[in-house]
Amino acid sequence: MAREYRMKSARSKPGSSQGISGIDYEAELNAQQYAVVRSKPGPALVIAGAGSGKTRTLTHRVAWLLDQGEDPGKILLLTFTNKAAREMIERVEQLIPSDVSALWSGTFHSIGNRILRRHAEDLGYTRSFSILDRDDQKAMMKQVIKELPLDTGGAASKRFPKVDVLISIFSLSENTCESIDDVVEYQFPQVARWIEEIKSVHRSYQARKKQNNSMDFDDLLVQTLKLLQQHDDLRSLYQRKFRHVLVDEYQDTNRVQCDLIDLLVGDRQCLMVVGDDAQSIYSWRGADMDNILSFHKKYPDAEVFKIETNYRSVPEVLELSNAAIRPNRVQYEKELRAVRDGGAMVPALVPLDDPSFQAEFVAERIEELIGEGLEPSDIAVLYRAHYQSMEIQMELTRRKVPFQITSGLRFFEQAHIKDVSALIRLVVNPRDEVSFKRVALMLPGVGDKTADNLWRAWSACELGQGISVPESFSPIMLTFRVPAKAKDSWQQLCYTLDELVVDGGFARPSDMLFSILEGVYDDYMRASFDNYEHRKQDIEQLMEYGEGFDDVLEFLAQLSLMSSVDGDPQKNQRKEDDESVMLSSIHQAKGLEWKVVFLVWLADGMFPNGRVLETGDEQMFEEERRLFYVAVTRAKDQLYLTYPMTNPKSYTGEYMMRPSRFLDAIPDEMTEEWKVSSW
């Protein structure tokens, strides 16, 4: 029989609303937040709606625990980004006058690293193990591939997965606890033919890391979980240490992170997780929404709290947001309520003739808003996929409206766009050494030295002199000496270049791009990029842009001008951040907010994504709707929902577009349709 003994201490009385901090919690928090902050120890699930003060609630919960006399070293606060961790600690420090440095706060990976630095020997590493960054991973994997007896030769050699693709496959497998076979089947079917070789590389890569006393980023989670699973004494040590575990953005946890949380909590079950299932949008990188939906199965005694008071948006935006997410069948139902008064306008629904007209409208309206006194940084243009921003980038550039892109790269600066452009530049200007070598280095088995040798052979022949437009490239190029691995790819390249010249002149830009994609670049993309489908869509969008040009020289000139603003490729990033309109994919916009949001390309096949509609997968479709919900809840004051009614596709001709089916859930009175026409 066990006896409980409670020590007398200087802790505040459990019912007290004030402690060492002097905070009047009831006065500083709304009723829902206050209920969370002062809840009794034990498992708790907090469903925090968009803009509801989630961070404020979490940090006040930590302050409350400290006010009750809890030791900071007994509290673990898990976040997803270093920025979020720093922000929370800074806020706690502002709330609590005493030293809180002993509090464990950080990302899952940083906490994993902290534990592993203490106990790595139990896994066969030393405490001074190295952490591999992306470049280190690539270098090690290249060496592994080089040393393995892999049969990657022959006609298909160019399609063997590049290390970036392999890293993505291995990472997804580790974080979801799914087999490499399943990950390849569902996420990377384009490399399925190499499945046995891929698994061989994975085994050797894992062994090489251990041999080198090194861990990659995923190991910081996987090895920590392994440590706690295999060593009962260490698991008990950390379960006793952390009396309170708090987790931010719980809807974004993957299988490994969720298992790690459960092991750290143990039987004490003093766990508070905060998240919003309606903002679960990262399944493609391993996040499992079932972690938050099935929380009660693991913790049947858990209290469930909802925080639904929104401090961000005007009521008109929130009413639309609530309506947008309501059709999802799998969710915790909630109703966001506005603190702010009504805005000056209801969300605008703006159908437009075509993508170019959509871009003109967005750019002109942005100019008007800036003219009315709004800062450019208060405005965002959001889209489902990066390629959907191309026309808007061009129109903003033409009007000299400053903008930045969350990825850091403008459309025309991306590697795959520069690759296909290099092939066109080489045909137009055979003396372009930079373009020639960029093309050569795409070939399997070709490095810098071989590229130099090929360039010397090229520049010495008639083709390389660029005296006239050749009728054919292949007769001369096929005589060049290339590595055995590159032979088939080089031959295909020669024949592709032949297609870029027609009747003593150059083919139209869109025809050139089609030949390049079908002839050589599609295979290269499949093997080189983990987001192959997105990059292919980018090139198809570039083909549509190329339809507007007959002269390839004019087309290339426009690409060059678009890849750098005002001829300055080294832009002042700080100034740009402060004075620029934001262009962002919705995934990268999560957690951010703007006074004005333009959500573009709201047409079926564009948003929701066409592949999702084709599969008919209800789970994927509901995630697309959650993505729409995330987008509209970014708007504070004004929201514009736009879509082109027609789309001029290359080779298939113009076709009509159906407004996004997400709009069907929004009552007519919640939007105002704008009928836009040109003068």
- Residue 50 assigned ligand-binding role: yes
- Residue 294 assigned ligand-binding role: no
Name the β-bridge partners of 352: 644
Residues 435 and 520 in one domain: yes
At 13, the pLDDT band (50, 70, 90 cuts) reads very low
Averaged over 382-402, what is the pLDDT? 92
Averaged over 447-465, what is the pLDDT? 84
Domain boundary among 565, 589, 615: 565
Domain presence at residue 328: yes
Helix (H) or strand (E) holding 608: none
Task: Give CA separation, 203 vs 61, 169, 210, 218, 630, in Å.
Answer: 44, 13, 11, 15, 39
Over residues 590-601, the pLDDT tens digits come to: 999 999 999 999
Domain presence at residue 99: yes
- Residue 52 assigned ligand-binding role: yes
Closest listed residue to residue 258, CA positions, set 268, 250, 270, 267:
250
- CATH number for the domain that contains residue 647: 3.40.50.300
User: Whose structure tokens read 């896994």?
Assistant: 123
Cα separation, 392 vs 403, in Å, equals 10
Averaged over 635-661, what is the pLDDT? 87
Domain boundary among 290, 307, 324: 307
Whether the CB-CB separation of 107 and 80 falls below 8 Å is answered with yes
pLDDT over 50 (residue 658): yes
Residues 144 and 196 in one domain: yes
Averaged over 75-100, what is the pLDDT? 89
pLDDT over 90 (residue 567): no
User: Whose structure tokens read 């006040």?
Assistant: 60
pLDDT of residue 241: 94
Residues 299 and 386 in one domain: no
- Residue 49 assigned ligand-binding role: yes
Over residues 511-559, the pLDDT tens digits come to: 999 999 999 999 899 888 888 888 888 898 898 888 888 888 888 877 7
pLDDT over 90 (residue 61): yes
pLDDT of residue 407: 63
pLDDT of residue 411: 81
Residues 370 and 450 in one domain: no
Averaged over 236-249, what is the pLDDT? 95
Cα separation, 436 vs 423, in Å, equals 8
Residues 241 and 112 in one domain: yes
pLDDT of residue 655: 81
Residues 447 and 532 in one domain: yes
For helices 552-562 and 415-428, the axis angle rounded to 10 degrees is: 140
Domain boundary among 307, 339, 372: 307
- Residue 348 assigned ligand-binding role: no
Structural domain of 205: 133-212
- Residue 55 assigned ligand-binding role: yes
Residues 284 and 327 in one domain: no
Please state which of the ranges 375-389, 407-421, 479-493 shows the lowest mean pLDDT.
407-421
pLDDT over 60 (residue 306): yes
Tell me what percent of the residues of the chain surpass a pLDDT of 70: 91
Amino acid at 677: S
pLDDT of residue 10: 43
pLDDT of residue 619: 93
Over residues 146-199, the pLDDT tens digits come to: 888 876 654 444 578 989 999 999 999 999 999 999 999 988 998 998 999 999
Domain presence at residue 506: yes
Tokens of 647: 């789309």
Domain presence at residue 127: no
Domain presence at residue 477: yes
Residues 448 and 552 in one domain: yes
Whether the CB-CB separation of 321 and 635 falls below 8 Å is answered with no
Averaged over 311-324, what is the pLDDT? 97
Averaged over 294-301, what is the pLDDT? 94
Averaged over 556-565, what is the pLDDT? 67
pLDDT of residue 502: 87
At 2, the pLDDT band (50, 70, 90 cuts) reads low
User: Whose structure tokens read 């050699």?
Assistant: 157
Backbone φ and ψ for 460, nearest 5 degrees, come out as -85, -15
- Residue 53 assigned ligand-binding role: yes
- Residue 408 assigned ligand-binding role: no
Query: What residues are annotated to the active site?
Result: 54-55, 248-249, 279, 634
Tokens of 123: 């896994």
At 97, the pLDDT band (50, 70, 90 cuts) reads confident
Residues 36 and 63 in one domain: yes
pLDDT of residue 666: 97
Domain presence at residue 218: no
Q: State the chain's mean pLDDT as an integer.
A: 88
Helix (H) or strand (E) holding 125: none
Residues 153 and 188 in one domain: yes
Task: Give the count of domains, the chain.
Answer: 4
Averaged over 409-430, what is the pLDDT? 86
With a CB cutoff of 8 Å and minimum separation 6, the contacts of 555 are 424, 509, 546, 549
- CATH number for the domain that contains residue 467: 1.10.486.10
pLDDT over 90 (residue 118): yes
pLDDT over 70 (residue 7): no
Averaged over 617-634, what is the pLDDT? 97
Domain presence at residue 545: yes
pLDDT over 70 (residue 569): no
Domain presence at residue 20: no
Please state which of the ranges 232-246, 506-520, 638-652 shows the lowest mean pLDDT.
638-652
CA torsion sign for 140, 146, 149, 153 is positive
CA 279 to chain centre: 14
Residues 537 and 440 in one domain: yes
Amino acid at 651: Y
pLDDT over 60 (residue 17): no
Residue 117, Cβ neighbours under 10 Å: how many?
A: 11
Residues 376 and 322 in one domain: yes
Residue of higher predicted confidence among 479 and 228: 228
